[in-house]
A and B are shown apart, each in its own frame.
Chain A
Amino acid sequence: MLCRLMASEARISCSIVVESKPSAVVGVCRQILPNLEANGFGKDDIFAVHLTLEEAFLNAVKHGNKMDPAKKVKVDYSVGPDKIEIRVTDEGNGFEPESVADPRFGAGLYEPGGRGLLLMNSYMDTVKYNDRGNSVYMVRYKEKPHFTESQSETEI
């Protein structure tokens, strides 16, 4: 684990690489979620980030790394008083988020899977994928900003 404490901004930024197995998400959550409480995030924020971490990490392990125990999942995060940024990266070939059917309509409503991305998109304020599709960057703000089209974010 590699962490930087940005004293001037009161932010902590860390990078961790963990085994690609579903149970490893427990340790990831245990490391990240207390930082939210320490920065004054509320219970709704913690619930949202917890759920998102579970979904993103499991996607990386199952769909990205295809349950290959030789592969790893990298989790970068940065937490401060205003927002949390998370990036989850797997070693898979990636996917096209647009190709995933919306589970809220049609036959998707009765399919057992396919709701993880929807929940991530719903609970985080920003969700972006890299071009390859094997890395997802997400942000949740403590207080919601008013974005304009000209504004952009600098990713971790």
Chain B
Amino acid sequence: MAAIKPMISVEYSGNATVVRFIDEKILEEKDIKALQESIMPIIESACGRINLILDFGNVRFLSSAVLGLLIRISKRIYECEGRLKLSNINPKIYEIFKITRLTKTFDIYDSIESAVEDLSQTG
């Protein structure tokens, strides 16, 4: 497992790249910018066809600015003909996704394993 900057870790599972958010809270603009600067190169380096899983297992709080980051990431992955899955979103944060109807936009899984399994089954 390779650590990239202090805020994410990256590992590989099956045909997927798994990016875990390390911090419990993702709020500040500089943090979100740092996340974007960490994640976008991972997508670019694999462009196209990255299978990216963003894991929220450690995250207990985020703001709407993070949702904006997720939209930007998903657009870039779409351009690269890749696939994006989200995993391990805790109930309070899932509520934010539901309110904003982003549950319709993102594929959300209970665990990294179930996201990896789905990616492997669909090629």
Contact = CB atoms under 8 A, between A and B. Distances in A.
Contacts of A113: 64, 68
B94 interface: no
Contacts of B65: 58
Interface stretch (A6-14, A115-123, A146-154): A115-123
A55 interface: yes
Nearest to B64: A115
Contacts, number: 50
B71 interface: yes
Interface string B58-78: 000101110111011001000
Contacts of A112: 67-69, 71-72
B49 interface: no
Given A23-B28, A110-B71, A112-B69, A103 B63 contact: no
Main secondary structure of the interface of B (DSSP, over half): helix
Interface residues of B, number: 21
A118 B98 CA distance: 12
Interface string A91-129: 000000000000111000111110110110010000000
A58 B63 CA distance: 10
Nearest to A55: B64
Interface of A: 22-23, 25-26, 44, 47, 50-51, 54-55, 58, 103-105, 109-113, 115-116, 118-119, 122
Given A109-B101, A119-B99, 14 more contacts: A25-B27, A44-B92, A51-B61, A51-B96, A54-B27, A55-B64, A103-B100, A104-B100, A109-B102, A109-B105, A110-B71, A112-B72, A115-B68, A119-B100
